[in-house]
Each structure stands twice: as C-alpha cells, then as structure tokens.
Structure 1
Amino acid sequence: MRRNSKFVVGAAVKCKSRAVVAGTNIENRSFGLTICAERVAMCAAVAGSEQDFVAIAVAADSDEPVVPSEACRQFLAEFNPDLIIVRATVRGQRKIENLSHLFADATRGILEHADLT
C-alpha cells in the first residue's frame, strides 16, 4: 500500500467477547479521504459481528503517544462513551485514558431521536 505521509498508525479494539480486531490507517492522496486506524479497527470488528467494545489501543512510531482525532473520538463514543483508550509509542511509552475524559463533549445518540422513516 502506498503511504503518502509515511506515518503508520496501528489500532486494536478489544471486544466484550474477548476478540481483538486490528486495523491500520489507510491513506489517500486526498487527505480528507484518509481513514484513521481506530475507525478501520472498529469497522472491521463491526463487520465481524462484534457489538460490544471494552478498549482500543493505538500505537505509532512517534515521540509521544498519538491522540485519536476528534472524528475518531466521536466515532468511538457512538459505540461506547466509556471506552478505555490505550495510547502508545513503538518504544513503549504509554498512556491509558477513558474516552469520556478524553472527549467529554462528544455528541451522543444523534440518531437515537432521528426519524429515519
């Protein structure tokens, strides 16, 4: 796969079923179409019929543990606003946070009250 930025991020979501599903960022020449590793992992888990999620780990070859983008935080909050986020570097630096603390202003349940008929 061609990587435009050469910045590789990996993610793995831990499901309540104990399954662990991995993903990596998928870049596109049109940067807005790039998909973050967190969303790739979560989509792969959902495609595999997983519905309940406990934690997600995100790792990159960076000086500091990467922080999920606001889009990723919103996306993850739709599945579990209290998801445990493990952020790490390939050299072993690690931070563990709760998504609700990392993204306190998440818009929750947008579709909950929508009339989709």
Structure 2
Amino acid sequence: MDTIPDQLRALLQKAYAPYSRYPVAAIIRTPNGRLFFGVNVENAAYPMSRCAEQVAVGAMVAGGERRIAEVWVMGLNAPTPCGGCRQVLSEFAGPEVAVHCLAQDGQEQVYRMADLLPFAFRPEDLAEATKTADGP
C-alpha cells in the first residue's frame, strides 16, 4: 500500500497549474479513515482557480462526510494552506486537527488548525451573531 507521501507525489502529477507552475496536492482523512484527494486547478480567470485543499474538501462533502481528522498538503516546498483554505478547512476540522505540510523531497512541518487559524470564523459564531442581531 502506498504511503500518504507517495500518494501525494502521484497526485502532484495530476495538478493543473499552467499559470503558477506550482502544483499542490492535498489529502484529507475523515474520522472513519476515508481519504479524499485534491489538486489545484488553475484557470485563466485567476479568481476561478481552486486550491488543492478546497478540491479535497469538496470531494469529502460530495462523499457524504462532514468531519476532518487529518490533512496533508504537498508542493514543491512544504506549503501551508492559504488563508482561504485555512477557513474552508476550519469549517470541518477542529482546532486540534493536524495539518501536515510536505515538500516533495520529504521535508515536513506539522501544525494544528488552531496554530494556522487561531481566530477562525466558525459555524457557532453565526449562531451567536444571529442571537445578538435578534436582540436579548
């Protein structure tokens, strides 16, 4: 069985990054052990591009899952998720979830979601905002 780094290296070959020339691959593991895969998909209209983490989250949701237990991201160096992806991941990952950031050559940094996005806007923040907006 391939290891997560081997799977990420294989995924990198599938990324569509003709503009940045910076392929990124992501794998998300759910609490029940299912793996979901994503690669960055760029577009000539840059705002329409999708990061690997967003693609993996979309696959996870389409697969019927709603919780993230662990995340791996690989690029040429050991990229951390961008700010938007940190917010997208935090929708489904608690603050304790490990995010492994790997380079193709094997270097790895591991962060917790709370370290990557310490003040995440969470679904429960919407409930609090709605309660406040409705009055006491």
The two structures have a TM-score, normalised by structure 2, of 0.76
Structure 1 residue 2, shift from structure 2 partner: 6.4
The DSSP-based 3-state class of the residue aligned with 1:71 is helix
Q: Gapped runs of 5+ residues in structure 2?
A: 1-15, 132-136
Q: Which residue, 68, 89, 99 being the options, matches 2:81?
A: 68
Matched, 1:10 2:16: no
Secondary structure of 1:32's aligned partner: helix
Deviation, 1:111, is: 4.1
Higher helix content, 1 or 2: 2
Shift of 1:108: 1.4
Q: Which protein has the larger Cα radius of gyration, Structure 1 or Structure 2?
A: 2
Match of 1:101 among 104, 112, 115: 115
| Identity fraction in percent | 27
Q: Identify the structure with the greater strand proportion.
A: 1
Tell me if 1:86 matches 2:104: no
Matched, 1:77 2:111: no
Alpha-carbon distance in structure 1 between the residues aligned to 2:112 and 2:18: 30
Q: How big is the alpha-carbon RMSD for the aligned residues of Structure 1 and Structure 2?
A: 1.7
Cα 1:32–1:40, aligned 2, differ >3 Å: closer, same or farther? same
- Once superposed, which parts of structure 1, at least 4 consecutive aligned residues long, lie more than 6 Å away? none
Tell me the number of residue pairs that the alignment of Structure 1 and Structure 2 aligns: 113
- Conserved 8 A contact 2:40-2:55: yes
**1:40 partnered with 2:55:** yes
CA separation in 1, counterparts of 2:42 and 2:35? 23
User: Could you tell me whether the CA contact under 8 Å between 2:17 and 2:23 is conserved in 1?
Assistant: no
Structure 1 residues not aligned, in runs of 5+: none
